[in-house]
Structure 1
Amino acid sequence: MLTINVALLLAVIVFFRLRRRTEARSRFDEKMTVVIVLALGILLAPTPVGQGVLSFLGQLASGVTQASR
């Protein structure tokens, strides 16, 4: 039995959609890419990878805030 990780599938779809030239995209195509990326974010958020990204971005934002003072 073959199982497919939905988050991995969406990541591959996003990768190939973003490789296309910008001039070749319609507004609907751009909106669909945004929806797919949001779905990928929702799927990744509760995972350890998503928590690691959140932690990294929090530390980066904290560092930028402290550096600007």
Structure 2
Amino acid sequence: MVLTINVAVLLAVVIVLRLRRRTQARSRNDEQLTVAIVLVFGVLIAPTGFGQWIAEVVEELARGISESGGGGR
């Protein structure tokens, strides 16, 4: 039996665990490490089907917000 771990799933678990900690307990370096982990997670998930779906949803939201804001001109 071969056990494989998807790195994106592992990073998602790490992100959730890090974000559950109290904000006051975080140092500046700790926050920078969390940002770096989230960026790597984004790069890993972007080419997947789920990442493409997220990009489409964000694009639709941005389009809807820009159309609602500029519609009165």
Q: Percent identity?
A: 54
CA–CA distance in 1 between the matches of 2:58 and 2:31? 25
CA–CA distance in 2 between the matches of 1:29 and 1:66? 38
Cα RMSD, aligned residues only: 0.5
Q: Which runs of 5+ in 1 are unaligned?
A: none
Rg (Cα) greater in structure: 2
SS for the counterpart of 1:68 is helix
TM-score w.r.t. the length of structure 2 is 0.92
Q: CA deviation at 1:61?
A: 0.5
CA–CA distance in 2 between the matches of 1:64 and 1:26? 35
Matched length: 69
Runs of 4+ in 1 over 3 A off after TM superposition: none
